[in-house]
Amino acid sequence: MRYFLLALLLATVATVGVAGFRGALSRKPPIEVFADMDRQEKLRPQVPNGLFPDGRSSQLPPSGTVARTQPMAVGNATVYSFEEGPVTTGRITGTTNFIELNPFPISATFLARGQERYQITCSPCHGAQGDGKGSVSKYGWATIANLHDKRISTQPDGEIFNTVGYGKSTMSGYASHISIEDRWAIVAYLRALQLSRIAGIEDVPADKRALLKK
């Protein structure tokens, strides 16, 4: 009997000790065997902090920092790259249909920019002429699209813009490498490249036709 009472007492103390005060609130700090990372040096926004010489925790960006979201001038409108609209998606707002025409005004400088970007990014695969015979094709990649295919030259500008940014089957997208404005410049240049193959004599200004016939 004595041993039983002793055992019961021990069992009661052990049970209450382990589980008895669970959920009870106390203002005293808990006994901490391992502190883990409960307390640590850190910067809280908008609070003074001695770590930096100017005493602020929120530092200003270093001078010369380039914003990821520079506004783009599209004609008279200003568009940000995070906005969802025809300029950033290539689609008619609220639909999945591609826009037919490049939203940027086409100028000689815009085309020249597109040519330069095309030659850097696209020509290794599609070739400077756009015929799919870039240097990569010599190493056995046989399915590089010929951009003069009727299927591609009849696509709306928005669809080409989408392909440049997000890829198409075996072609990967270049949205992370090429800014939105540059993607549209490439689309404009690609249109010029395609036109150079399908244009007729009537597309040449009358005073220049004689030069071609020579």
Binding site for ligand HEC (CB under 6 A): 121-122, 124-126, 136, 143-145, 147, 152, 160, 163-164, 168-171, 174, 186, 190
Least Å distance between CB 156 and ligand HEC? Answer: 11
The string of DSSP codes covering 154-201 is TS-HHHHHHHHHH-BTTBPP-TTTS-HHHHHHHHHHHHHHHHHHH--G
Residue 130 sits at φ, ψ, to 5 deg, of 85, 10
**Can you say whether the dihedral through the CA atoms of 71, 77, 81, 87 is positive or negative?**
negative
Report in angstroms how near the CB of residue 196 gets to ligand HEC at its nearest.
15
Q: Would you state the structure tokens that stand for residue 92, as one six-digit string? A: 């008619």
C-alpha 128, offset from chain centre: 26
Would you say 56 or 168 has its CB closer to ligand HEC? Answer: 168
Closer by beta carbon to ligand HEC, 105 or else 167: 167
Minimum Å gap between C-beta 44 and ligand HEC is: 44
Q: Which is nearer to ligand HEC, 57 or 121 (CB)?
A: 121
Nearer to ligand HEC, 113 or 126 (CB): 126
